[in-house]
Structure 1
């Protein structure tokens, strides 16, 4: 129950319904949105919310639901129910299109059985009667017109019409050609008048051709004549068309008679389409407002986490602004929240957000709040927002407020939610404050839940001293005199009356005079509240700063871990390379020593020959000895390296071109191959010192990489040809260091897709394979990710 009835409008729920209606595909869906009611049955609320959540999941994460046609087949079914009535060709086409959509939707969910249980419940036990479609398709073509061969009689009549039209056309062409040859015709060609094909004749020649004059030109110089010979044929055509129309009505009447037993089933199909359109519209609106499914409990309590007003959110999104989120809890311990603070600080918006989101949930709508939010079920809503003075009822503003308070106190209970804006205003504060306090105490005694906004100090003091009632305030920057729109629960807030008045520019002497007229106690209270607000602002700023610093520390730690892992991996690679290189050096040294000894023996220790062999050994030793100066020089040149430079490995004569620089490593193209080396292991060389053959090969490789595309289309190929093409692409991708491939193979029966994936699984370099997104080709495209 909502009191008063216009609470829906004041909270903004009517605007929400209009936004949902804009997403509907059919009038039936819009009518269902108009009938949205605030429910109090926990099971119903859970069901409607789950349906919207599942449909939102389909829209965002699954293949598109095959919803194409939404027609009002309820009206058509009711028409077909009448004996002797028949549906037109267009109406049968609407039934056919709607049933095609229904069956496609049912098949969609059958393929995903158990994945969307609440949506599946919409058509549970609903049979798929394809006999209806077969009967209609036998008569109606895909364009919505009756088929020429819908019956034997219609086929004969259609053939007769075609034959007569052909004969009439041949005859009139012959007469027109003859008249033109005699110069009797006016400028122009054959034309249609009153649905009949006519010859344009000059008026003075109208007696030279026998026939019926249908019309004349505005000047009277041209007449439009239907020749006598053609007149009889056209009459025959007209008679055949009448026969055809009677035969069509006969066919449509028989088809309607066949459809009549299925009328109850058609109404069920109509109901399914309407509900689907309705749930779809709710889900699209939820996507617009970034709505989520909160936790629903069958209790009178509420916990909002990062909640936002949906209408304010949409308006701000257009202006690229952000809504400050609301965090609030109303339960047995904190039944009523008394919100205070400055004017234009967001108190009313805060309260309207609570009311609107609660109503949306109980109407089966997802809300713009965190999934961790907990929303209960309230049996009654009592709302007092705005000015409800009435001239007809002789009610002033305050009288209208009191009338509502009377109703609240008499009818509210522990399962009611009350929302009262500017509690106690409209009369002398000296008396309005105590009355408001008494009403608040009475509501609290009845364990009512809710939120009120106020400027009255006595209500703030009462809330601070009463169990079940909690103070809250909207934070305010009293330095810049700007509201922060953040709700802080636990402390009351100052109205900042003097500060705001000073900012507006009220004269200083007026402000000073006003300050002398308030009591010392009130002045101390307000000063204390302002001080508390300042402290809260400082604490909030400190918390934000600490959070920012913590995020920076976390980011640095994560980066450090990545670097550590990267260094560990490269350390293993370098050690392995060094061991392999040392092994080669030792093997080569052994061979050289053995050869040297053999030479000395063969030359009988000839001194000159021995000296030459010793010098050769020293040269090899120096070649494999690290040169500190060279390392330093290379290190000094590290900073000068850039992509495209030519470099030489310091421990060999190998030359290549820099393709990429990654931190302390460089990727070098050496002919058709690529290798990774540390910057300190390479030194920059001039392009002229590199042999032309090496430069040519490197240029060719760079060109190949630039022109290489990691995509291939094998649709329509034989399996063997497709696998051969993919293998060539796979080899080139590995050689050039590409991370993934895209293979377009189409859907079909899935055989080619299966063979390709089985073939690629045998390669160790393949990490995984995935389908393309459903909206961009689905399982007709395979992505191959390489290690």
Structure 2
């Protein structure tokens, strides 16, 4: 790719942003060398690596790149026999450990989410745990050699510390002597030239034997090594030399270990650089909120809400554009500062990003093409030094494009034909565009020439586009409108700014009739476009509302069918158990009869027993739909309607209960055990004493009371979304919670509130432990601010 084009499209700024996301100097170096590829397979490989890194970054966080250093120079010196210093060895050990940890991290991430390409790359790194541990055992984090590096070094340092202690002890005895203290500048011990000395005043120089090692800047103080410790300091010097020799021996041993693995460790460096570079691309994608583009090599690109990455996200106007399907050339017209150049750069830069393996700041489903080259003539590049005018510089660029372009190239031309006579410039622009279009290139060109609008209409595969302009505010909107040529808007702008109407009318009269028709046509197209956008927006809103209502209806139907199925299954199970119990009792009776006949010698025939068994089988109750019950508005056949308090049978459920109240024209509220249900009146049938009383027609009607024990709650009969348990003990509260959950579930509540207060927390803890196991509970949490806080538990039902 031409370096000048990369600079024109500001690709170098992207590489700088990419390098900022790299964690190591190795990755930063690769980021600075990134370049687009013209191979579709290579681009797909790069994008797959970026996609896998983005998945790891999203699911597992940033990989551990800490501790990685550029150790190539150290490895090279070790391999040719040089001795490494402690800092270099420390960096090598740190890098070996970091590469091992990174490899483990990526392998663990692969178990949760497939990242085959990255794991295959990481697994090529060799591990050298013994070398890593040996370096760590000899060198601390400050690059100092540890005493444990070797037994000899430990012994030497022990002797050194002992000798230093003896020297200090002797000197301290000396400076504590009153006769000596008056001759000292300070009562302290210091070191000069690796030898222990004391600060003596100049006038007492003759009173001390020994050696003078230094003096103060003023000359008033001499640093003297007393004669009594010269031998001790000499001994310390010997031990220090032995220490240096032993340290050198240790460093050479460690360097030899590094030299043995230098080639493999150098290969690890290449892999670490590549991994850091890949995850830098993922980090940049996260910053941009970019997506993975679909790639092709057939010259087709389609950007959905594409954004220029160098323009702040809050101010950039997304770009929608398609090229290479129905048309291969787009001619963009519009006023200056309208965004034409930014649109050109966006298309070119996003193509370069995708070809470099980077995600693009656009919506999912955007497609981009792998071009063999991208040519761009954007901006004014006149040169005084080369004696080139604006027109000449543009022509120089365009000539170079025409020589190098192929049918698989992308050409971006800004203000084609500008900088010369308008008549000649427009004619030349048409000729250049025609030549490029016939070559099969994909091309986007911007212009001010109105003649090019007609050219786009007359050529197959060429389409007009324009940058939208708001005449009401006299400002551009920076939106690209494909299929609509741009209007000059000069008269409208002048009129809005206050130019006299006669002058504007005179100017309009100077415009040719053909140009006026074109402007009128463009205005009509613009009005139709705006109307279509408004209608489409309204249609999408209505479709969204319909979709939401349908989802809610489907969910309600699902819950109803689930609830109905549970109730029917429970009723059928109860019926089966009753029938099974009756059958067992009948079998027992028959067995007793047969035993009795055998014991008494009676002539009871076996076939009679079989007949009795058959009659018992026929007596087994069958589930059938009863006749309609006569309730007010129900159209039944009974002699009187069911009244509140009657015992009734809900036929669809096969359950008996008591009629509580009549609701509306066709509904009724029935108490079924601990549950209240609203059912259709036509689904009810009088049962038991209520049916007998209805048939006899005599005597006062006695209202039946619901059977079964229950806890009376201080609330109304209607199901509510909250339950107040403050002041109750845990055992009674759990009974109430169970009943409340059943009622709320049958009422199709999505969320309910249980008020337990704060107190000691015993009631809250017990209730939440019960909720955790309850079949109707999907989730629960403490109340938020405004909901009661820790005194309320908010329950979400299934």
**Range class of TM-score, shorter chain:** 0.7 to 0.9
Within the candidate set 48, 51, 54, 2:49 is matched to: 51
**Cα deviation, residue 53, structure 1:** 1.4
- 1:443 and 2:443 matched: no
Task: State the Cα deviation string for residues 399-438 of structure 1 (Å, max 9, x = none).
Answer: 2222233333333221110001122221222121121111
Greater Rg over alpha carbons, structure: 2
Contact 1:86 1:253 (8 Å CA) reproduced: yes
Spell out, residue by residue over 1:608-637, the C-alpha distance to the aligned partner (whole angstroms, 9 max, x if none): xxxxxxxxxxxx99xx999989x9xxxxxx
* Alpha-carbon separation, structure 1, partners of 2:740 and 2:131: 74
In structure 1, the partner of 2:105 is: 108
- Matched with 2:162 is 163
Where does structure 2 lack aligned partners over 5 or more consecutive residues?
572-644, 647-656, 665-705, 745-753, 780-795
Indicate if the aligned counterparts of 1:477 and 1:537 stay in contact, CA closer than 8 A.
Answer: no
Contact 1:338 1:472 in 2 (8 A): yes
Inter-CA distance 705–473: structure 2 relative to 1 (3 Å threshold): farther
Q: Quick one: which of 92, 97, 105 aligns to 2:94? A: 97
Show CA shifts across 1:299-324 (max 9, x none): 32212222211111xx23xxxx2533
2:23 corresponds to: 25
For residue 721 of structure 2, the aligned residue among 637, 645, 665 is 665
After TM superposition, the structure 1 = structure 2 runs for residues 271-286 of structure 1, keeping only pairs within 5 Å, are 271-286=270-285
CA-CA distance at 1:94 after TM superposition: 0.4
**Is 292-301 or 11-20 further displaced after alignment?**
292-301
Q: Secondary structure at the match of 2:528?
A: helix
Equivalent residue number for residue 41 of structure 1: 39
Matched, 1:517 2:510: yes
Distance 1:291 1:706, change over 3 A: farther
Match of 2:83 among 83, 86, 100: 86
Query: Which residue, 12, 15, 37 being the options, matches 2:13?
Result: 15
8 A Cα contact 2:300 2:325, kept in partner: yes
C-alpha separation in 2, matches of 1:78 and 1:200: 48
2:768 maps to 733
* TM-score after normalising by structure 1: 0.72
Q: What corresponds to 2:491 in structure 1? A: 498
In structure 2, relative to structure 1, the CA distance for the partners of 1:7 and 1:337 (3 Å cut) is: same
Question: In 1, Cα distance between the equivalents of 2:718 and 2:218?
Answer: 89
Counterpart position of 1:336: 329
Select 2:66's aligned residue among 64, 68, 81: 68
Matched residue, 1:754: none
Correspondence for 2:374: 381
Equivalent position SS for 1:58: helix
Match of 2:265 in 1: 266
Q: 219-228 vs 467-476, which deviates more?
A: 219-228
| 3-state SS of paired residue (2:359) | coil
Q: Is the 8 A contact 2:411 2:441 kept in 1?
A: yes
Cα distance change on mapping 1:50 and 1:93 into 2, 3 Å: same
Query: Structure 1 stretch 669-678 or stretch 484-493: which is displaced more?
Result: 669-678
The alignment's C-alpha RMSD in Å is 4.2
Deviations 1:483-531 (CA, angstroms, capped at 9, x unpaired)? 3333232232213222234445555455344323221211221122123
Partner of 1:452: helix, strand, or coil? strand
Task: Say if 1:668 and 1:677, in contact at 8 Å, map to a contact too.
Answer: no
2 CA distance for matches of 1:438 and 1:537? 34
Q: Does 1:486 align with 2:521?
A: no
Shift, 1:77, TM fit: 1.3
Aligned pair count? 646
Name the SS for the 1:71 alignment partner.
Answer: coil
How far does the alpha carbon of each residue in 1:340-363 deviate from its partner, in whole angstroms, 9 at most, with x for none? 233333222111111000011111
Q: How does 1:575-594 map to 2 (within 5 A)?
A: none
Distance in structure 2 (CA, Å) of the matches to 1:474 and 1:241: 80
C-alpha distance after superposition, 1:191-248 (max 9, x if no partner): 4455544445566666555444555667776655443333332332233223322322
**Distance in 2 of aligned mates of 1:202 and 1:55:** 70
* Alignment partner, residue 675 of structure 1: 737
Return the offset for 1:655. 6.1
Q: Distance in 2 between matches of 1:230 and 1:292?
A: 76
2:406 to 397, 413, 424: 413
